[in-house]
Amino acid sequence: MKARKILIVDKDPVARQQLADFFEESNYHVDTTASAAFVVAHIIKKNQPIILLGNSFEEKISPAEVVSLLRECNKELNIILISDENSPEMLRKVREKGIFYHSLKPHTREDNEELLSVVECAVGDLGTALT
């Protein structure tokens, strides 16, 4: 049964689909989008505990701005930023806004397994936050 939910947000359709396939195989219920506006609306309407957030969206909005908006909607949300961008300024901004973890984009099966471990930690973090 796919009880665990994850939302993947990235403008790149290939990367989004590869992550979705991997997490579906790992028994997650996966939703995907390229739109920052959709993810904000989705968070307002549904209980979505974990977001895998890329660094580009259909709209011209920075990851730090998206994280800030998501935090306003749900303070308990675990946001994992997936980005190959190494800009110290961008990383500092998203960390200040409150991400759970920053990961480089996965390129191999081992990278996916590492990302799965991070997501499992976030799921565990949710369990302790709810008790």
Confidence of residue 18 (pLDDT cuts 50, 70, 90): very high
Q: How far is CA 109 from CA 18, 19, 23, 114, 115, in A?
A: 11, 11, 12, 9, 10
pTM for this predicted structure: 0.87
- Give residue 14's domain range: 4-119
Q: Is residue 129 part of a domain?
A: no
Residue 97 in any domain: the answer is: yes
pLDDT tens by residue, 75-109: 889 999 998 877 888 888 889 988 999 998 898 98
Residue 127 counted as domain residue: no
Tens-place pLDDT, residues 36-64: 999 998 888 876 679 999 988 988 898 89
Considering the domain boundaries, does residue 16 fall inside one? yes
The number of domains in the chain is: 1
104 inside domain? yes
Mean pLDDT estimate for the chain:
87
pLDDT at residue 126, rounded to an integer: 54
The pLDDT confidence band at residue 129, using thresholds 50, 70 and 90, is very low
CATH of the domain at 52: 3.40.50.2300
Please state, in angstroms and rounded to a whole number, the distance separating the CA atoms of residues 93 and 17: 27
